[in-house]
């Protein structure tokens, strides 16, 4: 029985070779040490309560992927090393100028470029590293209202088609007669999007997808999550407006059901991939 080329053999080699197998990682570790202010900021940021700390989960996942897939000289490394050095240089030059999150992105980019040529699913790993940064509140700030605006209008159209009354939209407020439902900040679906992308990236890592399939599954995840969020919005409008009488626990239940549907679609997409 053939054993997996990437997984079992490498693990065996790593067990036999011990730390020598990771000797090529010294560059990455050196860069990680050099950007220690970013680590300091990161720890403060994820523990201060201003953002959800789930980026740590993505960071740990990325670490596991690196340790699992790491292979010396998997790809030609000159180009990657060059880009890594350039990114690190940008980090140093722009340190005082850019905000902390941008600094963290440059540092993360340099780290990723250092190991990207030595892992099979480099693109997916990069996405995991990006998701590990505390970006949810920033995404909420910049994308939250536009998403809610689009959701509100789509929801209004769908519900109006299914009812004999028209749903009126005022910004992100949906009005049906005297009933008003607001799609406020926690309704934007940014968290669903984050988890959806996390699942897509991790699926791509596990399935050892190269660049194109990784991008395909990521864009697929974006579409699916949006559609499932829309489905959630429509269902919850019926519940919250009182058109449908359901117990309170179904509020979260409907959300989880819609998210499960999205997860199933994403994972199914990853499972049917074959290189």
Partner 1 sequence: MHYLTPEPPLKLLPLIALLVAQTLINFGTARAQSEEHFQRTLAPYFESSADDDSLQGFPLKGTDVYVSIAGVIADVTVRQVYKNEGRDTIEATYVFPGSTRAAVYALTMEVGERKIVAQVKEKEEARATYEKARAEGKTTSLLEQHRPNVFQTSVANILPGDTVVVELRYTELIVPTDRSYQFVFPTVVGPRYSNYPAEGAPRSESWVENPYLRADTPSPAGFTIAVHLEGGLPIQALSSSSHAVNVNYASASIADVSLTNPTARDATKDFILNYRLAGNQVETGLLMFDGGNEKFFLAMIEPPFDVKADQIPNRDYVFVLDVSGSMHGFPLDTAKQLMHQLLSTLRTTDTFNVLLFSGNSSVLADSSLAATPENISRAEAMISQQWGGGGTELLPALSRALKLPRAENVARSIVIVTDGYVAVEREAFDLIRKNLSIGNVFSFGIGSSVNRFLIEGLAHAGMGEPFIVTSPQAGSQAATQFKKYIQSPVLTHSKLQFSGVDAYDVEPESIPDVFAARPVYVVGKFRGKEQGTIRLTGQAGKGEFEKTLQLDPHSANERNGALKYLWARQRLQRISDYQKVEPNSETKREITTLGLTYNLLTEFTSFVAVDQSVRRNSSDQIRTVKQPLPLPEGVSEFAVGGGISTAPEPGTWLMIIIGSIGLLFVVRRQLHVKIWK
Query: According to CB under 8 A, which residues from 38 to 77 bind partner 1?
Result: 41, 44-45, 48-52, 54, 57
14 near partner 1 (CB under 8 A): no
183 near partner 1 (CB under 8 A): yes
Whole-number Å distance between alpha carbons of 269 and 38: 35
- Give the one residue of 27, 75, 153, 191 binding partner 1; rule: CB under 8 A: 191
> From the CB of 20, what's the least distance to partner 1, in Å?
26
7 near partner 1 (CB under 8 A): yes
161 near partner 1 (CB under 8 A): no
The mark string for 204-223 relative to partner 1 (x by CB under 8 A, - otherwise) is --xxx---xx----------
> From the CB of 234, what's the least distance to partner 1, in Å?
8
Whole-number Å distance between alpha carbons of 67 and 7: 11
Q: Which CB atom, from 30 or from 173, has the smaller least distance to partner 1?
A: 173
The SS3 assignment for 180 reads strand
180 near partner 1 (CB under 8 A): yes
Tokens representing 72?
């010396």
Whole-number Å distance between alpha carbons of 107 and 111: 6
273 near partner 1 (CB under 8 A): yes
- Give the one residue of 22, 100, 215, 220 binding partner 1; rule: CB under 8 A: 100
Q: What is the CB-side half-sphere exposure of residue 38 using CA atoms within 13 A?
A: 26
Q: Bin 225: left if φ > 0, else alpha if -120 < ψ < 50, else beta.
A: alpha
192 near partner 1 (CB under 8 A): yes
Whole-number Å distance between alpha carbons of 162 and 142: 32
Q: Please classify residue 7 by burial: count the beta carbons closer than 10 Å to its beta carbon, then call 0-12 exposed, 13-18 middle and 19+ buried.
A: middle
- Give the one residue of 1, 15, 19, 161 binding partner 1; rule: CB under 8 A: 1
Q: Bin 249: left if φ > 0, else alpha if -120 < ψ < 50, else beta.
A: alpha
Query: Taking contact as CB under 8 A, which single stretch among the options 22-30, 110-118, 119-127, 198-206 is the one that binds partner 1?
Result: 198-206
Whole-number Å distance between alpha carbons of 274 and 132: 27
Q: Which of residues 229-248 bind partner 1 (CB under 8 A)?
A: 231-246, 248
Q: Report the Cα–Cα distance between both ends of the chain, in Å, rounded.
A: 20
Query: Taking contact as CB under 8 A, which single stretch among the options 67-75, 81-89, 124-132, 200-208 is the one that binds partner 1?
Result: 200-208
> From the CB of 84, what's the least distance to partner 1, in Å?
26
């Amino acid at each position: 029985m053939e054993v997996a080329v990437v997984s079992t053999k490498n693990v065996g080699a790593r067990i036999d070779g011990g730390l020598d197998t990771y000797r090529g990682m010294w560059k990455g570790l050196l860069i990680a040490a050099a950007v220690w202010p970013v680590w300091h900021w990161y720890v403060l940021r994820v523990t201060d309560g201003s953002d959800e700390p789930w980026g740590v989960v993505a960071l740990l996942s990325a670490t596991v992927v690196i340790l699992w897939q790491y292979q010396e000289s998997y790809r030609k490394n000159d180009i990657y090393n060059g880009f890594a050095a350039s990114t690190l240089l940008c980090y140093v030059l722009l340190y005082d100028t850019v905000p902390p999150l941008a600094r963290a992105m440059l540092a993360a980019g340099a780290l990723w470029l250092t190991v990207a040529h030595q892992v099979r699913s480099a693109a997916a790993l990069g996405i995991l590293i990006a998701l590990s940064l505390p970006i949810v509140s920033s995404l909420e700030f910049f994308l939250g209202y536009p998403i809610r605006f689009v959701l509100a209008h789509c929801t209004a159209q769908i519900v109006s088609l299914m009812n004999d009354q028209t749903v009126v939209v005022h910004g992100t407020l949906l009005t049906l007669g005297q009933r008003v439902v607001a799609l406020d900040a926690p309704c934007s679906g940014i968290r669903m999007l984050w988890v959806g992308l996390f699942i897509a990236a991790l699926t791509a890592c596990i399935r050892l997808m190269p660049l194109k399939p990784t991008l395909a599954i990521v864009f697929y995840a974006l579409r699916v999550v949006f559609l499932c969020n829309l489905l959630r919005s429509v269902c919850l409008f019926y519940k919250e407006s009182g058109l449908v009488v359901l117990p309170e626990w179904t509020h979260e239940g409907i959300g989880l059901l819609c998210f499960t549907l999205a997860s199933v679609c994403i994972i199914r997409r990853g499972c049917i991939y074959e290189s």
